[in-house]
Structure 1
Amino acid sequence: MLLKKLQLKTIDYRFGLTMCFLLFFNSVISAQEIIKDVVAEKPAEVPSTQKRKIDGIIATVGDYIVLDSDIDKGFLEISAQGGSVKDITRCQMLGKLLEDKLYAHQAVQDSIIVSDAEVRSMMEERLTYMTQQVGDINKVVAYYKKNSVEEFKTYFADILKEQKLASEMTKKIVDAVEITPEEVRNFFKKIPKDELPTFGAEMEVAQIVIEPKVSDADKQKVKDKLNAIRKDVLEGSSFATKAVLYSQDPGSSPNGGYYKMTRKTPFVKEFKDVAFSLQQGEISEPFETTFGFHIIMIDKIKGQEVELRHILISPTVSEDALKEAKEKITNIRSKIINKEISFADAARTESDEKETRANGGTLVNPTSQDTRFELTKMDPTLYSQVSNLKDDEISQPLLNTDDKGKKTYKLITVTNRIDAHTADYAKDYTKIKELALKEKQITAIAKWFDTKIKDTYIKIIGEYRDCTFTNNWLKK
């Protein structure tokens, strides 16, 4: 029963996380009013003659309130996104809203900062997405029953700030949870043999990547363009606008090139070296990384953290360079097939992909961080490239274009196949560790709620006091 209990707990936990992400990315709850200057204190009672004037308030959590209409809008938006609400009760929806309020309230108590710049960046990204969906920002404004774009932005900023506070608080709790090998072993031992999970068929994959060489002349064209942009900004143009117009970084260009980072943020070394060498307001000269050429402007420096904007432009690869790269990788393939060199040794000596070169080209699963890829969860593009390969077969040269438009040629092979099987501690340690860690995180979050609910002013009124909640919101 242990595994079944874990699965049930995981469902409850995943419901919370799924709802959290759904609310965040689809903006599905209305803006919340904040009760000023109230921290874990009981606000003054409202005379009964005035209660109709605050119609709709059904709960208070610390500094935040929940409106009855928030529940209705939650259901409406889930349906609008194609989700099913038939198994979600109003009490469950309220429970999730209460969780979000407590996360946000405690984030403020813990001095977690969400800057106005972060909120603006998030807002621009969300508004761009919503406008692309409906075709007109005014339709978005009308949907939320606001009178103007500016009124909507003010309203929307409160939503985003609260959601960001909640997500940062959740991350703080979960990131603090660690698990030892002994705990993993004990977790596995407690699972009855007839309840051990079954893992699907998996494979391990290796690849060799050859990048077309960019000419010095093409590189200089990009640097000249970035220098021209830099000059315009120094003369008064908006860096953010230039980033939207010209940057080829899909992760930041819609937000005007905005990033927030510390020295521990996983950016390439060259980028971080330049970012932390600049003063506030300063714009870098063009510099090169594996992604292309960049310029950076520093918006703010706050201790060990910087807020910056950047523009990325990658040189165009010529047809001659593509042809030369294909010829090179075709020659490598011939040597492997003719047994002149092994695939792994060819990857170590010839591949241009630093991340896999040292491991003989072996790919790491970004989800699990091990080398196995479960067939049913594999990236569709990768699956299409390997699904028809036989054991030890080397693919033909494949032209690959990544999400930034960068073109490379690659060879790919399947190095190991693992059939569907019942969990084995030695063979599946990484997956078992993930399950054990998840259980420990669920326990940590449950304990966090128990503690914070006791220490926070919470009030639920009306018919919702009859709800059966997972957490002890009523403090019974």
Structure 2
Amino acid sequence: MINIRHGMQPPRAAACLLAAALALVTPLSGLQENEPAAPDTVATVEFPPGVESLDRIVAVVGDTAILFSDIQVTLYQLQARGARVPSEGSEGWKEFADDVLEAMIDDLIYLQQAKNAGVTVPENRVTETADGYFAETRGQFSSDEEMMLAVEETGMNMLQFRQMLRGQAHAAGMREAYRFQLEQRTDLPPVIVSEEEVEAAFEEFAQNQPPRPALVSFNRLVVTPSPSGTARDSAVARTLRVQNDFANEEEFSVLARRHSDDEGTREQGGELGWMRRDLLVKPFGDAAWQARPGQTVGPVQTQFGLHFIKIERQRGSERFLRHILLRPEITEEDIEEARTLAIQVADSLRAGADPERLMALFRGQVADEDIRFDDIPLTSLVSQFTGAGAESGLTAPTPGTVYGPLEMQRGGPIEFGLVHVLTYRPEGQIELDDVREQIRQSLRTQKQIGILLEEIRSNTYIDVRF
């Protein structure tokens, strides 16, 4: 596709030579679902005399032309991905090509409206994506020389090829960011997704899916060692010193360099950077999201120690954070006391005690974090524990059984996990109930986005000449 305002170039017969290699980096997302954009109206564009003799124009969208050679390259790309593409001139080819063109029009409308909406993509993200595209393309060739010759056959040098990949990465980022904006709108049109539609979508989805992994639902409590004796007194004294320095209005970054035990962030003034809440342990995230930008909160206890947290800025669902970590000394005696408590808590669970009540009863010793987990891959559960292999029995869990104490190492002192297995489903074929709600939500979003796209298309200049 080319922008009319920047002129047109003659088509090159070798343009399809890289199509197979580029199949991974230029997905035609519109073939899977319509991608919308905000309403826009573009006036009819007049072409210079003789332009169409350079390459057959099959559609004009706004001020951009789609050429027949664009469709050909896209068909090669689809074929390289394994799609069954009819041979040109055969029965069904025109209908297939029409669908491809419609998807290209949808993608182009989406990109144009993303630009109109002022969507931007960070340069580092564009660079990272483009580098990934280049690496994937290089993987299709046996040598650098073979790839270079293929690129040169298209009339480009390697610099121009990289610039093309960067343009594709930027366009993909624009569409992705704009789609996310649309999905967050509160005025999306109401739609109904029937059970028949969900079942039909599942039948298509399940055809090429690998076996579903073994899944387990469970309650989990984690007993964390606490400092005792002189170690506890020392932790209290350090906490008071930090609070006193705050009272003297010293800069948070200065205090982090002076007091923090977090070697990874201390020299950067405790900087954690932009963080999402779901990336943080629960007590830390709860405290950071209950405060306002500019505030400092703490001490907050996690399995890593005691934290003072500075909330510097906020953007959307992210916050820019700094912290000071005070890691109390944990002795072998503290660890053994935690092990003994974990055995007692495990016995209470086996006797039918409510895990929520146990966490409240032993607050400060049992970690303040989520307890219930549903349909988690068994391998993810087992990997949380040190030595939780076949000897623990957790690799083939029995519903109703409490496993533990099991040692855990999560960046702080050794902890002890207790797992009460609620349900266990061995590995097997994926079932509709496994993905029903995800499919329903996906279909709902597709319908809503499709309605928006139709509204946009009706207000956008589109001239199909195919």
The TM-score with structure 2 as length reference comes to 0.53
Given that 2:223 and 2:367 are in contact with CA atoms closer than 8 Å, whether structure 1 keeps it comes out as yes
Tell me, in whole angstroms, the C-alpha distance in 2 between the residues paired with 1:349 and 1:306: 33
Given that 1:394 and 1:412 are in contact with CA atoms closer than 8 Å, whether structure 2 keeps it comes out as yes
Partner of 2:119: 113
Q: Which amino acid aligns with 2:119?
A: I
- 1:119 CA drift (Å): 1.9
- 1:209 CA drift (Å): 2.0
Partner of 1:72: 73
Tell me, in whole angstroms, the C-alpha distance in 2 between the residues paired with 1:61 and 1:319: 70
Q: Which has the larger radius of gyration?
A: 2
Partner of 1:207: 220
Tell me, in whole angstroms, the C-alpha distance in 1 between the residues paired with 2:41 and 2:412: 50
Given that 2:191 and 2:448 are in contact with CA atoms closer than 8 Å, whether structure 1 keeps it comes out as no
Tell me, in whole angstroms, the C-alpha distance in 2 between the residues paired with 1:312 and 1:152: 44
Given that 2:71 and 2:100 are in contact with CA atoms closer than 8 Å, whether structure 1 keeps it comes out as no
1:26/1:268 CA distance change after superposition, 3 Å: farther
* 1:268 equivalent in alignment to 2:285: yes
> CA offsets per residue over residues 76-111 of structure 1, 9 Å max, x none?
5995xxx533369655544433322222223344x3
- 1:457 CA drift (Å): 1.6
Tell me, in whole angstroms, the C-alpha distance in 2 between the residues paired with 1:322 and 1:87: 64
- 1:395 CA drift (Å): 1.4
The correspondence for 1:104, drawn from 111, 115, 122, is: 111
Tell me, in whole angstroms, the C-alpha distance in 1 between the residues paired with 2:74 and 2:331: 53
Tell me, in whole angstroms, the C-alpha distance in 1 between the residues paired with 2:300 and 2:73: 51
1:49/1:398 CA distance change after superposition, 3 Å: same
- 1:414 CA drift (Å): 2.1
Counterpart secondary structure, 1:222: coil
Partner of 2:82: 84
Q: Which amino acid aligns with 1:451?
A: E
1:177/1:294 CA distance change after superposition, 3 Å: same
* 1:378 equivalent in alignment to 2:377: yes
Partner of 1:61: 61
Q: Which amino acid aligns with 2:222?
A: V
The correspondence for 1:450, drawn from 448, 451, 454, is: 454
Given that 1:120 and 1:157 are in contact with CA atoms closer than 8 Å, whether structure 2 keeps it comes out as no
- 1:49 CA drift (Å): 5.6
Tell me, in whole angstroms, the C-alpha distance in 1 between the residues paired with 2:103 and 2:451: 17
Partner of 1:19: none
The correspondence for 2:267, drawn from 228, 238, 242, is: 228
Given that 2:216 and 2:421 are in contact with CA atoms closer than 8 Å, whether structure 1 keeps it comes out as yes
- 1:30-429 paired onto structure 2 within 5 Å: 40-48=42-50, 51-52=53-54, 55=55, 59-64=59-64, 66=66, 68-69=69-70, 72=73, 76=77, 79=80, 83-86=81-84, 91-109=98-116, 111-114=117-120, 118-126=121-129, 155-156=164-165, 158-176=167-185, 187=194, 204-212=217-225, 216=235, 220-222=259-261, 226-230=265-269, 257=273, 268-271=285-288, 276-277=293-294, 320=332, 325-337=338-350, 339=351, 341-343=353-355, 345-350=357-362, 352-356=366-370, 361-363=371-373, 371=374, 373=375, 378=377, 380-382=379-381, 388-400=396-408, 408-416=415-423
Counterpart secondary structure, 1:163: helix
Tell me, in whole angstroms, the C-alpha distance in 1 between the residues paired with 2:291 and 2:158: 41
Tell me, in whole angstroms, the C-alpha distance in 1 between the residues paired with 2:185 and 2:291: 31
Quick one: percent identity of the two aligned structures? 12
1:287/1:157 CA distance change after superposition, 3 Å: farther
- 1:410 CA drift (Å): 1.7
Counterpart secondary structure, 2:397: coil
1:46/1:176 CA distance change after superposition, 3 Å: same
> CA offsets per residue over residues 44-68 of structure 1, 9 Å max, x none?
213226742xx58654433555564
- 1:393 CA drift (Å): 0.7
Segments of structure 2 that go 5 or more residues without pairing to the other structure are: 1-22, 29-39, 87-95, 207-211, 240-255, 389-393
Given that 2:261 and 2:325 are in contact with CA atoms closer than 8 Å, whether structure 1 keeps it comes out as yes
Tell me, in whole angstroms, the C-alpha distance in 2 between the residues paired with 1:431 and 1:437: 10
Aligned pair count? 357
- 1:296 CA drift (Å): 7.7
Counterpart secondary structure, 1:397: strand
1:129/1:355 CA distance change after superposition, 3 Å: farther
Tell me, in whole angstroms, the C-alpha distance in 2 between the residues paired with 1:129 and 1:287: 42
Tell me, in whole angstroms, the C-alpha distance in 1 between the residues paired with 2:128 and 2:79: 20
Tell me, in whole angstroms, the C-alpha distance in 2 between the residues paired with 1:175 and 1:96: 23
1:331/1:166 CA distance change after superposition, 3 Å: same
- 1:122 CA drift (Å): 1.4
Given that 2:126 and 2:173 are in contact with CA atoms closer than 8 Å, whether structure 1 keeps it comes out as no
> CA offsets per residue over residues 207-262 of structure 1, 9 Å max, x none?
1123455875899453577453349xxxxxxxxxxx8xxx7xxxxxxxxx55699x
Given that 1:389 and 1:413 are in contact with CA atoms closer than 8 Å, whether structure 2 keeps it comes out as no
Tell me, in whole angstroms, the C-alpha distance in 2 between the residues paired with 1:379 and 1:340: 23
1:383/1:86 CA distance change after superposition, 3 Å: farther
Partner of 1:15: none
Given that 2:309 and 2:324 are in contact with CA atoms closer than 8 Å, whether structure 1 keeps it comes out as no
Segments of structure 1 that go 5 or more residues without pairing to the other structure are: 1-24, 31-37, 232-242, 248-256, 279-283, 364-370, 466-476
Q: Which amino acid aligns with 1:209?
A: V
Given that 2:408 and 2:415 are in contact with CA atoms closer than 8 Å, whether structure 1 keeps it comes out as yes
Tell me, in whole angstroms, the C-alpha distance in 2 between the residues paired with 1:295 and 1:439: 41
1:43/1:331 CA distance change after superposition, 3 Å: same
> CA offsets per residue over residues 299-357 of structure 1, 9 Å max, x none?
x98xx7699766789788978476665454234223434x384555334534745442x
Tell me, in whole angstroms, the C-alpha distance in 1 between the residues paired with 2:226 and 2:170: 45
- 1:382 CA drift (Å): 3.0
Given that 2:288 and 2:309 are in contact with CA atoms closer than 8 Å, whether structure 1 keeps it comes out as no
Counterpart secondary structure, 2:347: helix
